Structure 1
């Protein structure tokens, strides 16, 4: 499908009303894939595990991919440690899949994490999300688990990626020294 020129990124908060339809669909998707496997309360409990402030600058961020005024994708990151951003909830609307939207969100999050001084990305996905596993493996992420094993034995599947090259590139393009990472509070 042709690239839609009206796609733009909007940095905001998970509490933004424009994010609600996307987050609501994500909860339904998680519940349909996992039920109460991880929690008796289901996906809503996981979605509310972190306060919105965790995904706010200077240590985090939340982005929506907007198309014609509607959120069609999104994602967030929070501090994992001083050098590492932890990506959370990279998501695209189910009726718009297979257009490269998740990849666009992933790359935007990587660039923003680098702009905020992070040199590494850490993330996890669930064992019933093979599309996410494929996305991360196809875009330079290293699986921190045996990809040949049954993913259900791990429950959550961790990945990492070094983005220090982005920090240096962005600094070069801006002709300024790279930003220093913000202090992190890691639970």
Structure 2
């Protein structure tokens, strides 16, 4: 029987791992998406790299971290981040670039700087696509965080694998149910944030 304190500790470790990775992925992806607007070569390299990493099986990405970074929290963050980059970068880039050119020309005509155009026109336009990518990346990160238990990241993956190895359904569910609830929490929390920051969201 799994002790409640063990489940709570593992859940906290899992939350820290997932949200740390997700926020690092956002911090890396959004600047890359903006930079890709100004360089087709950079866009090509970034998208190709993200697509390539996405094509590699998740377990292989996790396993390949061991020879380079060892085991523990940091290799787990890197492995999850590599898988979470594509949906955020791709969706953000699409949202940023999918603005009516006439609107950009008008903004430049009235004297807005590139920073102001990004802040007041491109970014609000990108919110729906960007948040869709972030939510998908968060759910993806949550699932891969289970796999990273194999390389010593801790979290709910340890409990889930204990249940699988021991054919113990109760232990398996003790790890799986919090992981499912966390995936739902990620979706709800970023949907609420999207409602707050997206202009006219409630009118849709």
Would you say same fold, with TM above 0.5? no
Structure with the greater relative contact order (CA < 8 A, sep ≥ 6): 1 or 2?
A: 2
TM-score (norm 1): 0.28
TM-score, normalising length: structure 2? 0.27
- Please say which structure displays the higher CA radius of gyration: 2
Please identify which structure carries the higher strand content: 1
